[in-house]
C-alpha cells in the first residue's frame, strides 16, 4: 500500500487504510479449509457498530453530505461541476475525498496519489499508484477496466484543475503492454484543447520507461458553464 501523503492519518483515514489491507489479505488468502466463523462474526460486529453513523442522502465524491447551494449567495454566479476551491487545490483527493480512485475516505480506493503541476499555459496532473491483488485482471497484471477508471479520474481531474470540468462523454484507452500488479505506476494527464462545450484531455500510464497505456477523453461541460468564447 502507498504511504500516506505527507501527513499523519486521521482516524477515519486509518480505518479506511486498515480495510484496504484486510481486502488485500482476504483476496490473496486460501480460505477454503479455514473456520471463518470468528472473523465473520467480528466483521459483522464492526458493521453493526458503524451502521448508526451512516448518513442518508445523495452520494458525492466531493463530500459526505450534499448541501444545496445558497440561492442568494449564488445569484449571478455560474453553476460549476466542482467546488471553486477545486480549481486551486493541489491534489484531486482534496476535492474528491470519497473518490473510488483517489479518495482517502473510500476503502475501495487504492488510493492513487495525484497532484496538480504547473505546465505553463495549463495545469497537468501527475500521479503515482501501486495496485494490489484486489485489482487483478490477467495473471499478475492490473484489470483493464481498472486502468480505464484510473484514466477517467486522471483526465477528469485534469479538466477540473483547469476550470473546465465536465461529464465524461467518451473515453478511449489504448493498452500498449500489460500493467503489472504491485509495481509503482506513473501517470500524467494534460489538457489538449477545448471546442465550445467539449474539453479534450489526454494521459499516459507508465511503469519505469515503459508505456503501459494511453488515453484520450472528451468531457462535456454543463450548458451553464459554457460561453461563446469558451
pLDDT tens-digit map of 88-109: 678 999 999 999 999 999 999 9
| pLDDT average, residue stretch 172-187 | 98
What is the helix, strand, coil percentage profile of the chain, to 5? 30, 25, 45
Using alpha carbons, select from 223, 124, 212, 126 the residue that is nearest to residue 167.
223
Residues of the chain with pLDDT > 90, as a percent, come to 80
Task: Pinpoint the alpha helices (H) of the chain.
Answer: 11-28, 37-50, 71-74, 92-95, 144-161
According to the model, what pLDDT value does residue 7 have?
62
According to the model, what pLDDT value does residue 222 have?
82
Specify the pairing of strand 198-207 against strand 210-220: antiparallel
pTM, two decimals, is 0.85
What's the grid cell of residue 182? 504491485
DSSP bridge partners of 175: 213
Is pLDDT of 81 > 90?
A: no
pLDDT band at 66 (very low <50, low <70, confident <90, very high): confident
Pairwise CA distance, residues 81 & 75, whole Å: 16
Whether 113 contacts 127, CB under 8 Å: yes
Over residues 129-155, the pLDDT tens digits come to 999 999 999 999 999 999 999 999 999
Using alpha carbons, select from 69, 93, 98, 97 the residue that is nearest to residue 81.
69
Pairwise CA distance, residues 28 & 55, whole Å: 32
Question: b/e per residue, 146-171, with b = 16+ CB within 10 A?
Answer: bbeebbbbbbbbbbbbbbbbbeeeeb
Q: Is 111 exposed, middle or buried (0-12, 13-18, 19+ CB in 10 A)?
A: buried
Using alpha carbons, select from 149, 62, 67, 150 the residue that is nearest to residue 106.
62
Using alpha carbons, select from 106, 104, 102 the residue that is nearest to residue 92.
102
Amino acid at each position: 500500500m502507498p504511504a500516506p501523503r505527507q501527513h499523519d492519518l486521521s482516524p477515519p483515514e486509518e480505518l479506511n487504510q486498515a480495510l484496504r489491507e484486510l481486502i488485500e489479505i482476504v483476496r490473496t488468502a486460501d480460505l477454503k479449509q479455514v473456520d471463518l466463523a470468528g472473523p465473520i462474526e467480528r466483521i459483522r460486529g464492526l458493521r453493526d457498530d458503524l451502521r448508526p453513523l451512516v448518513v442518508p442522502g445523495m452520494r458525492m465524491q466531493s463530500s459526505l453530505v450534499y448541501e444545496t447551494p445558497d440561492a442568494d449567495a449564488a445569484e449571478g454566479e455560474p453553476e460549476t461541476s466542482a467546488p471553486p476551491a477545486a480549481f486551486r487545490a493541489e491534489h484531486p483527493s482534496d476535492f474528491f475525498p470519497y473518490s473510488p480512485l483517489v479518495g482517502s475516505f473510500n476503502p475501495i480506493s487504492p488510493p492513487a496519489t495525484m497532484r496538480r503541476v504547473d505546465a505553463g499555459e495549463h495545469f497537468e496532473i501527475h500521479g503515482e499508484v501501486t495496485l494490489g491483488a484486489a485489482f487483478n485482471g490477467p495473471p499478475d497484471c492490473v484489470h483493464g477496466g481498472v486502468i480505464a477508471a484510473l484514466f477517467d479520474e486522471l483526465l477528469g481531474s485534469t479538466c477540473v484543475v483547469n476550470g473546465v470540468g465536465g461529464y465524461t462523454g467518451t473515453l478511449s484507452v489504448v493498452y500498449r503492454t500489460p500493467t503489472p500488479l504491485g509495481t509503482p505506476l506513473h501517470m500524467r494527464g494534460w489538457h489538449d484543447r477545448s471546442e465550445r462545450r467539449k474539453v479534450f484531455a489526454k494521459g499516459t500510464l507508465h511503469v519505469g520507461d515503459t508505456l503501459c497505456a494511453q488515453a484520450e477523453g472528451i468531457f462535456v461541460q454543463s450548458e451553464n458553464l459554457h460561453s461563446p468564447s469558451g
